Amino acid sequence: MRRKERTEILIQGTADIAKDFAKEIKMRYKVNVIQKPESALVLLKARETAKKSLFYLGELLVTECTVQIQDSIGIGIVKGHREELAHCLAIIDAAYQADLVETRLWSHVLENEKKNIQKNLQELNQSILRTKVNFETMDVQ
């Protein structure tokens, strides 16, 4: 599983998964905090379609954290003010970078959570589509 996909699942899924993974690593390995969780602003870039030029939509508040496990560095960046989640994501990222044994057991949990996220999204889309108005069938008088 790729880093981007793994991180999206951990952010969108149940918060307990990231906490449990990070707790498992903290119990077995020494985690050095390089940068404690702190807030930052990120500029959002977009490309204007007609002229193909870049412009900035605005700023986004994020929480970022950097940790080290053995010789591997992990980063955690999450939208909003969520210090605990950023710290957990950094630990998980460092664990994957270090190729720790525990990470091989997590793929099954992440796949199940991915299915749950997709199911919830599909249910949300279905509930939205139920309220959709079909203008073609409306009588014009």
Closest CA to 15 of 107, 96, 113: 113
Q: Which amino acid belongs to residue 28? A: R
pTM across the whole model: 0.83
DSSP codes joined into one string, 42-103: EEEEEE-TTT--EEEEEEEEEEEEEEEETTEEEEEEEESS-HHHHHHHHHHHHHHHTT-HHH
Q: How does pLDDT run across 19-30, given as a tens digit for each residue? A: 999 999 999 999
Q: How does pLDDT run across 66-114, given as a tens digit for each residue? A: 999 999 999 999 999 999 999 999 999 999 999 999 999 999 999 999 9
49 within 8 A of 56, measured Cβ to Cβ: no
**What CA–CA distances, in Å, run from 115 to 15, 69, 121?**
16, 30, 10
